[in-house]
Amino acid sequence: MSKHPWLTIGTDHPFGPHHLPYGSFAHGSGEPRLGVRIGDHVLDVEAAAAACHRDTRPYQGGNLDPLLAAGPQEWAQTREWLADLLGDEDRADVLAPHVHPVDDVVMHLPFTVADYVDFYASEHHASNVGRIFRPDSEPLTPNWKHLPIGYHGRSSTVVVSGTEITRPSGQRKAPTDETPTFGPSVKLDIEAELGFVVGGRTRLGEPVPVESARDHLFGVVLLNDWSARDLQAWEYVPLGPFLGKSFATTIAAWVTPMAALGPARVDLPTQDPQPMDYLRGEAAQGLDITYEVDWNGTVVSRPPYATMYWSPEQMIAHMTVNGATLSDGDLFGSGTVSGPEPATRGSFLELSWNGSEPVELEDGSSRTFLEDGDTVTFRATAPGEGGPLHLGECTGTICPAR
């Protein structure tokens, strides 16, 4: 075995040379640095660029911000350079001082979040929520199959995996209550989503068509859209979710480049009715990513991303068709990933059917919504070149309300 562990990582490793996700790490008391992960190590990208006499500007500042701004050509060149570098025995001694075990570093938010949008792209999730929240209406609203429904969320409360989540307080009112009451949420929930990381700023008034959307799709992160269902149910008519969501959104520390997900591309489910022209195009594809939702050590669900109705390219085309700009660091979530089977639902609202069907955990306890001290972790795998990729974990533990 080489004295340089990254040289011997095969494609059977979830963070093998076919993956190379990016993150922001700090070593010891140092400032955050942009890193690329190889196996169980992280390479300091700016330091490696300096050692290779390469322009360091796209890697400065400690996170992905300048690389996102640099655009798709730079993304491809950087990935090619890193893949080459990490397989090069001759340059391994030069790199060695800039490689750290992942266990020795602390991860930070991988980029500065500009606008954050959350979509609602799973037909199964939207139907389930419709049945639960609006039992007297059709499960899907009339617009659902015509456009990818989305809304803006709070950018400043997007946090990195591992950040503790304080149970939010707020107003709620059950239909049977005469007046609303105030207190800690009693229906604290998760939403297993995929987050898309955007780069390449556009100009106001210039839509991005489906065919060009990938020029702005840098990569993906697992995303947990923590949701206080009781707060949400009371507040959301008529202007949508607000405090039921804005207390925290967790994303994984590692951003998987879209370039690593080529083998995961799949056709979308049949879209019927056919979407309008601006939402059509061959570039509109799905992703074959399978989730694990782990609740205190029990995998309670395995949502399949391939069942999502709308593609990320369609979400970008829709989001910009009115002329709205994309900014470097925009983040958009897919919406909860739920498959057709109960064991593939991506929220506890659905898994426990709004609390009426408790979920059994392996420690013998049962749950409907989150209790203080509970930990939820998302993991996910996707086909990659040579072997499956494991996307970076997305985890959080619930602290009691203040």
DSSP for residue 157:
G
Catalytic residue among 125, 216, 318, 390: 125
> Is 182 an interacting residue with respect to a copy of itself (CB under 8 A)?
yes
Q: Which of 199, 194, 251, 196 is nearest to 76 (CA)?
A: 199
- List the x/- string, 308-347, binding to a copy of itself by CB under 8 A: ----------xx-xxxxxxx--x-----------------
In 289-360, which ranges are continuous DSSP H helix?
Answer: 312-320, 348-351
Q: Indicate which single residue of 189, 193, 225, 235 sits in contact with a copy of itself (rule: CB under 8 A).
A: 235
CB of 337 to a copy of itself, least distance (A): 17
176 binds a copy of itself per the rule CB under 8 A: no
Instruction: For residue 21, give the DSSP letter.
Output: -
Of 35 and 244, the one with the shorter C-beta distance to a copy of itself is: 244
Q: Which helix (H) or strand (E) holds 48?
A: helix 45-51
Based on the residue annotation, tell me whether 125 is a catalytic residue of this protein.
yes
C-beta closer to a copy of itself: residue 87 or 240: 240
What are the start-end ranges of the H helices in 158-273?
A: 229-235, 243-246
Task: Give residue 96's region: left, alpha or beta (phi > 0; psi -120 to 50).
Answer: alpha
Task: Please choose, from the candidates 307, 305, 309, the residue with its C-alpha nearest in 3D space to the C-alpha of residue 290.
Answer: 305
CB of 271 to a copy of itself, least distance (A): 14
The response to whether 118 counts as a known ligand-binding position is yes
CA-to-CA distance for 163 and 232, rounded, in angstroms? 22
Is the CB of 7 or the CB of 106 nearer to a copy of itself? 106
CB of 50 to a copy of itself, least distance (A): 28
Q: Cα(225)–Cα(190) distance, rounded to whole angstroms?
A: 6
Strands (E), 102-178: 105-108, 116-119, 150-152, 158-160, 165-166, 169-172
Among residues 22, 234, 295, 348, the one that binds a copy of itself under rule CB under 8 A: 234
Q: Of the ranges 24-32, 38-46, 211-219, 245-253, which one interacts with a copy of itself (CB under 8 A)? A: 245-253
| Backbone φ and ψ of 263, nearest 5° | -65, -15
Of the ranges 20-28, 113-121, 254-262, 304-312, which one interacts with a copy of itself (CB under 8 A)? 113-121
- Considering only 51, 52, 114, 299, the residue that binds a copy of itself (CB under 8 A) is 114
How is residue 129 written in tokens? Answer: 């929520």
d(CA 355, CA 101): 42
Residues 6+ apart with CB under 8 A from 153: 116, 117, 118, 225, 245, 246, 249, 333
The size of the interface with a copy of itself (CB under 8 A), counted in residues, is: 67
Show contacts of 142-145: CB within 8 Å, 24+ apart: 144/120, 145/271, 145/272, 145/273, 145/309
Binding mask 193-222 for a copy of itself (x = CB under 8 A): -----------xxxx---------------
- Residues 20, 79: contact at Cβ < 8 Å? yes
Can you tell me which of 77, 96, 104, 134 binds a copy of itself, judged by CB under 8 A?
134
Interface residue with a copy of itself among 2, 176, 179, 356 (CB under 8 A) is: 179
Write out the binding residues. Answer: 118, 120, 134, 191, 193, 225, 232, 236, 245, 249, 336
Q: Which residues are catalytic?
A: 125
Contact positions toward a copy of itself, by CB under 8 A?
114-116, 120, 130, 133-134, 141-143, 146-147, 149-157, 159, 163, 166, 168-171, 173, 179-180, 182, 204-207, 228, 231, 234-244, 246-248, 273, 276-278, 318-319, 321-327, 330, 402
Per the annotation, where are the binding residues for Mg(2+)? 225, 245, 249
